[in-house]
Structure 1
Amino acid sequence: MSTDTSPRTSARTDANERNATIAVTVFPILVIAGAVIAYLAPGSIAPTLGPWVTIMLGVIMFAMGLTLTPPDFLLVAKRPLPILIGVIAQYVIMPLAGWGIATVLGLPPELAVGVILVGCAPGGTSSNVVTYLAKGDVALSVTMTSISTLLAPILTPLLALWLAGQRMDVDGGAMALSIVKVVLIPVLAGLLLRFLLPGLVTKVLPALPWLSVAGITGVVMAVVAGSADKIASAAAIIMLAVVIHNAIGYGLGYGLAKVTGQREAACRATAVEVGMQNSGLAATLAATFVSPLAALPAAIFSVWHNLSGALLAAFFRRRPIADEAEPVTR
């Protein structure tokens, strides 16, 4: 986070926050509209957007990289405990919850793998804005998202292989390479470009949330179009799985941060970070390595976690933070 507090910088930051807030608020509406269009016209959407799913995700991750700065990573040295708690929760709670939900609900293999892949994904790109709306620790949220994303090429395929490999063949090596190509390289490229051309990147920052919204909407449309013939029979059970999965992430993420003595703002950030997943990545991996149907849980999760995130943020905003005046010591 920049330490420049000049009026011009403050105004620019406020404008960026307003753009991000509006984008996150409008996002579910746009995704639902796109999903309906894709469901009604799969023959036109699937061949048009299907081949572009990987590229769209790469653009989303490049945009995420443009929003990052070195101080986002320096926080790891200053406050290692809450970041460690958040990242461990991200890669323990959500993968195991996905596996447990798929098992208890008796989901067919393709859908089970899809739910598990959602759980194995890193934190969602919109979690930082939702944390801001929830009066949580935004700096902590940004760092947790960044670290979990950078760890994804290793942890996501390993966890998917462990938890989903018994249900369907999962090529962990190919999946890891794919994550490096569409996540790690674009994020690092965005970070490097911001370092080299900070002035130019600052000018385009307000447009980045909308770029991400457009990209994820495109991914969801491609997934829905690819499995349109099976949605009617599977939508209800997938929706149930998604709602439970998301709620477990919020609840256990907050609870784990609380029992380890974190401040309220950090607890809120951890809850949001754990509950909101990079569903775009999960959808892309499922569509690429399993089937379009396996990507459906991620597509539905993409819509739901933004709706639930907005509701959670509204709930938290009404609750004062009693310890917000205390110094950060951990």
Structure 2
Amino acid sequence: MEILGSTFDDSVFEESRSRVSSAALPAYKPKSCEPEWFCHYERFEDDLDEQKTMKFRADLKYRRKQYQGALDDYKACLSLVPNGNLSLKRDVLDSIARCYSHLGLRERALEICEKLRKEATNTCHLTCILQLELTIHEGSGNLKKSISSLQHLCSIHPFNPWHWLKLATSHQSLLESSTCLENLNHILEPQALIQQQEERKLAQLKASMCFVRTRLLIEILRTQQFSFVLEKSKRALKEIEESLLRLQLEEETLRIISEVMAEDLNPEKMREENQDGESLSGLSIKDFEERWWNKLHACLLTENRFIQ
């Protein structure tokens, strides 16, 4: 008795006929290039060939920190990029902005950032722009602007621990610089001194908030990590504990911070709020201050735990 679906067509077991190719395949001859062939290559076949060559040259010069030469080659490359190749255009503009930054022309670099921002269509584009802005601000030593860029990154990627860690260390650097100024400025007017002390307290609390958030995220993610990634997380956790000890917040204050910063850290909510690659059209990115800082500030005031 045949079982339904268990029979086979006899043709399945027949030997396949040998297929005779009607045309011989052409021999494959890979192109052989000398190292750094593009540095002195001038026999361009077309605009695309010239564009690729100029990009290779610019990338090499940038790597060698020859920023003016790299800038010139990137500009030459950009003029050859077709209007439809938006990905390459963004890449070259990003590189031009970085060259400007290294050359001390940070306003021109930021102008390119603004141009890229206007043309961004998804969160991946916006993330790249914010990282570029961050690099420019860090290069100029502008901590407050760096913090602003990092806050935007944390708003777009609220579950990325490394953005939070960088934000925490930036607040810590701001705290250290304000402490140094406070120690030096003994002759400040009382009102100015009070304002400086308040800024220091806020930086202390914001640094703690970000360190705690980073710790919570790493502890969630480390269960899925192995090898060198896990080692990186362990080192980060150790550094966070040391930083929190130096910040000298009371245990009850740290407990409140942990509760507030953990409110949205459940797997279901984290999946819902994953915005990688999302279109910017209609996308609602919650304000950093409103989502975390204002809520924490209110909780601390309610519990009378705000830093005095």
Q: TM-score, normalised by structure 1?
A: 0.26
Larger Rg: 2
Q: Which has the higher helix share?
A: 1
Which of 1 and 2 has higher RCO (CA within 8 Å, sep 6+)? 1
